[in-house]
A and B are shown apart, each in its own frame.
Chain A
Amino acid sequence: MLEMLGKLSLRNAKRQAKDYIIYFITIVISVALIFSFNSIAFSKDIQELSEMMKYFNTSIVVVSVIVVLVIAWLVNYTMKFMLEKRSKEFGTYQILGIEKKDISNIFILENVFIGITALLVGIAVGTLLYQLLTSVIMNIFNQPYKIQIDFNLNAVGLTVVYFGAIFLVALINNRRKIRKTKIHDLLYAEKQNENQLVKKSKGNVIIFCISIILFIIALALTKHTFRDGNTISGNLVLIAIITLIIGIYLFYISISSFIIKRYLENKNRKYQKNNMFIFRNLTSKINTMSVTMGTLAVIFTIVIIGCDVAMLMNGMLNNEIDMGYTYEIMISSLDGDFSRYKEYIEKNAKVKEMYEYRTYYVPETGIIAGLTGSAFEGGKWYSEDDVMKLSDYNKLREILGYENVTLQDDEIIVQCISTVQKNFEKYIEENNTLTINNKQFKIKEVRGEDFAQSSGFNSYIYMIAVTDEVLEQLNCTEVGEEEAYDFPYKLVVQTEEPTNEEFYEDLRALIPTEEIPKVEEIDGEEYEYSYERNLANVKTRGKRMSESKSFYTIISFLAFYIALVFSITSATILAIQQLSDSEKYKYRYQLLKKLGVEDSKLNKMIFKQLFIYFALPMLIPVIISIPATLFIGNIFLVGITIEEILLNIAVVLGLIFIVYGIYFIATVVQFERNINEEMRG
């Protein structure tokens, strides 16, 4: 008896894997992804790449949980689906007199077989994937890497636990269903009408319109709240999200009747090229699938926007480095004594260029008005303007390979970060003079090359250069200790090779400190304490790059992880739906063939039908995510341009489309194969 049940379960499992091969492959891919990512999280090699990489570990585990939830949904859905399709089979088991508990056991055993197989294959694939991903990361960090088969038991354990939990929960859920079934329903399940055609209510058109309105509202709220970094309101974002979600569901619930009404009512199109058959097929399916499609669309929209934003942050960070860390080593100090640093630097790096200088402050000249209309408007928190001697300015330019500039004594140059250059140029068109210390100067030009300004080293955002002679005469402000943005004395160094994190730590250790006593009044009580204040600032490009690479890696990999998992899950669900229909409704297509439809035409029909079906859940996500990202991206315009935002959107969408597209093609191929089996009348 046990033998028979075991035999039955094993054979059923084999059949299940064959019939639902796309699902099986998706599970294998998911196992591979989770396993490889968790292996990375536990990999010492990777963690040692940088300080920040330990966050990678934590975030992978967190994201894995989300991924596991998504896969759990897929498994549960598919199991439920397969169970429904096999209603008659389970009814037969019951009628033959197999106990319900044995029937549950058959089902459980089948899925255990499938699960274990998927797990084993997935881990094998995951090991290879792990190698691949590790070498990519190593590459990003310019580290050499040897391929080594290194098996992380923790990762294996975690993967097994995750998938064990997924299958367990799904099984418990579905087992309950088996217990509850009435045999009558099982046996006659097929004869029930699945095909309710379009619900003929005018209501659907209204719902459709409401959904469009909700979309507009959600987007408007997004645009409004993200118009600048200070106005982001958590509440508004929440409302926007809720509005969007409701809108999406309403859209998909009403879309099928909308298609029929708009498209088919047009008599001409009705008879054109088999549209009737396709659209009736679609609408009956969309009706039953509207909630699922809505869910897929919601998930995709969130995923796409999330990935876009992640990419934007990456882009912004990269740009910031270029704009802010133009020199390998940048040290600013309260006094001009850089000897201790120079000693270390000369011992531990090959120096290409080295230069010492200082910057000055003058009371606000009004040039700040040039920031009007830019992302930085109102963003500078000290009122003085930075000034630099022309000789220093030119030397610093020379180190960076920029051309020299000349100035007359009555001229100044504005040097700013590239993203606000246009704003300053616009300002200057109308106001090309400047007053410093009651003297008027002509603004010769605005220069926007990268000049270590976004990091605040050579001034923050913008500065003014004047001739050496003029500077001698200027009344400069001595900025107090509290207000100083950065120390006035500066040292910049370019080295042959990039420096590393250790180098940075060593330099920092050299910074002198002093103790400052403070007295503060809180609630009428006086508190005395002291704190240590650094008397210098050290920045190295090496450290910054390392941080940003870590950040970049973490963000990219996580975004890729999530996006990939969602894409394959959604595509799998759609594929399963359509493929099981192709089995069930095979005879419809075969009837068409017999009545006289050419193979090529039939294939075109299938392609069209599947294309619409796969494209539909993507429709709203694509349409909504582009403007939403642009609106959110507004706050990133400090460090990134519109073109770059659009490029990022394109890349994210492109990757998702490729994965989705592969599943789509696989479904089309399998569908056609299913239809063409046994054409015998």
Chain B
Amino acid sequence: MKEILKVENIQKYYGNKDNITKAIDDISFTVEKGEFIGIMGASGSGKTTLLNCISTIDNVSAGHIYLENEDITEIKEKDIAKFRREKLGFIFQDFNLLDTLTIEENIALTLTINQKNANEIDKKVEQISEKLGIKEILKKYPYQVSGGQKQRCACARAIVSEPSIILADEPTGALDSKSANDLLNLMEEMNKQMGATILMVTHDTFSASYCDRIIFIKDGKIFNEAVKGEKTRKQFYNEILDVLALLGGDVRDVR
């Protein structure tokens, strides 16, 4: 399968001469097209920073990140907006929908900026909203719908422009268990049926169990990796817990 994301020896420092924090300390990995990959770690481990660097929210201090062979770290300021809207899709923990636009308009926004023609946009929005089960709320505003529905819209927005990769930052963080469940199933569908490549950062084992592969980060370095392969979700879930226990240092049997 094609390699879609390549992270090569990246490092990220904060602070100045007297007080340097190394948030990311030489991380390298690759993501194949169509993979659903999870990044896990305790708070402060660097996982959020990693996501920020990949998503162009932050700059690396050293190293390279290639998305579809394009070096993210070398993109000029004036080209970065274009890059974001064409190649990246985002799902945030707090949805980040624009509250002065309807759901439909929120989803269509990236397409509009990409200058697709109106008919094409309408068609795509309709298709995706049907697939994600939000067709009835297209004309509503974000404040009128529930958290679970908002997150679906965020997903729709993320996938409708067919980006190279979808980046999700603790997407279930603000949801109750049922909605979280629904969302994860949805993301699985996006991945398996629609072929979306998804990179998700999470601290929640349950969410992580939906991934094909998990990369564990500790102290800015890759600590371990877990691959689902042929296992069931429940088995993978337990495997993840084991690794986390190692990560946490405490051995507690929480099964």
Direct touching of A and B (C-beta under 8 Å)? yes
Q: Is the pair A8, B86 in contact by a Cβ cutoff of 8 Å?
A: no
Docked complex Cα distance between A95 and B51 (Å): 13
Give the distance to chain A from B106, nearest Cβ to Cβ, in Å. 9
Docked complex Cα distance between A7 and B115 (Å): 16
- In the assembled complex, B130 has its CB within 8 A of some CB on chain A: no
B57's partner among A7, A12, A184 (CB-CB below 8 A) is A184
Docked complex Cα distance between A12 and B99 (Å): 9
Q: Mark A194-214, 1 if CB is under 8 A from B, else 0.
A: 000000000000000000000
Q: Is the pair A97, B81 in contact by a Cβ cutoff of 8 Å?
A: yes
Q: Mark B74-94, 1 if CB is under 8 A from A, else 0.
A: 000000011111101010000
Query: B57, B83, B115 — which one has the most chain A CB atoms within 10 A of its CB?
Result: B57
Q: Which residues of A contact B101 (CB under 8 A)?
A: 7-8, 11
Q: Is the pair B113, A1 in contact by a Cβ cutoff of 8 Å?
A: yes
Q: Which residues of A contact B85 (CB under 8 A)?
A: 96-98
Docked complex Cα distance between A244 and B101 (Å): 50
Q: Which residues of B contact A100 (CB under 8 A)?
A: 81
Query: A92, A95, A184 — which one has the most chain B CB atoms within 10 A of its CB?
Result: A95
Docked complex Cα distance between A96 and B108 (Å): 11
- In the assembled complex, B105 has its CB within 8 A of some CB on chain A: yes
Q: Which residues of A contact B112 (CB under 8 A)?
A: 1, 4
Q: Is the pair B98, A8 in contact by a Cβ cutoff of 8 Å?
A: yes
**Known A-B contacts A7-B105, A184-B52; A98 and B113 likewise in contact (beta carbons under 8 Å):** yes
| Contact-size category for B | 20 to 34
| Least CB separation from A10: chain B residue | B100
Docked complex Cα distance between A89 and B96 (Å): 8
- In the assembled complex, B3 has its CB within 8 A of some CB on chain A: no
- In the assembled complex, B197 has its CB within 8 A of some CB on chain A: no
Q: Which residues of B contact A4 (CB under 8 A)?
A: 105, 108-109, 112-113
**Known A-B contacts A8-B98, A8-B101, A15-B100; A97 and B57 likewise in contact (beta carbons under 8 Å):** no
B98's partner among A14, A89, A97, A187 (CB-CB below 8 A) is A89
Docked complex Cα distance between A99 and B82 (Å): 7
Give the distance to chain A from B93, nearest Cβ to Cβ, in Å. 11
Q: Which residues of B contact A97 (CB under 8 A)?
A: 81-86, 88, 110, 113-114
CB under 8 Å from chain B, chain A span 86-107: 88-89, 92, 94-100, 102
| Least CB separation from B115: chain A residue | A1
**Known A-B contacts A7-B105, A97-B86, A98-B113; A92 and B98 likewise in contact (beta carbons under 8 Å):** yes
Q: Which residues of A contact B151 (CB under 8 A)?
A: none
- In the assembled complex, A82 has its CB within 8 A of some CB on chain B: no
Q: Which residues of A contact B71 (CB under 8 A)?
A: none
Q: Is the pair B81, A183 in contact by a Cβ cutoff of 8 Å?
A: no
Q: Which residues of B contact A11 (CB under 8 A)?
A: 100-101
Q: Which residues of B contact A15 (CB under 8 A)?
A: 99-100
Query: A1, A14, A97, A183 — which one has the most chain B CB atoms within 10 A of its CB?
Result: A97
Give the distance to chain A from B156, nearest Cβ to Cβ, in Å. 13
Docked complex Cα distance between A98 and B88 (Å): 13
Q: Is the pair B84, A96 in contact by a Cβ cutoff of 8 Å?
A: yes
Docked complex Cα distance between A4 and B100 (Å): 12
Q: Which residues of A contact B82 (CB under 8 A)?
A: 97, 99
Docked complex Cα distance between A102 and B82 (Å): 12
Q: Mark B49-75, 1 if CB is under 8 A from A, else 0.
A: 000100111100000000000000000
Q: Mark B104-144, 1 if CB is under 8 A from A, else 0.
A: 01001110111100000000000000000000000000000
Docked complex Cα distance between A184 and B52 (Å): 8
Which B residues lie at the A interface, using CB under 8 A?
52, 55-58, 81-86, 88, 90, 96, 98-101, 105, 108-110, 112-115, 157
8 more CB-based (< 8 A) A-B contacts, given A96-B157, A97-B82, A97-B85: A1-B112, A4-B112, A88-B96, A95-B96, A96-B109, A96-B113, A97-B86, A97-B113
What are 24 A-B contacts with C-beta separation under 8 Å? A1-B112, A1-B113, A4-B109, A4-B112, A7-B101, A7-B105, A11-B101, A12-B100, A94-B81, A94-B84, A95-B57, A95-B84, A95-B96, A96-B84, A96-B90, A96-B157, A97-B81, A97-B84, A97-B88, A97-B113, A98-B85, A98-B113, A99-B82, A184-B57
Q: Which 5 A-B pairs have the closest CB atoms?
A: A97-B85, A97-B84, A11-B100, A99-B81, A4-B112
Which A residues lie at the B interface, using CB under 8 A?
1, 4, 7-8, 11-12, 14-15, 88-89, 92, 94-100, 102, 183-184, 187
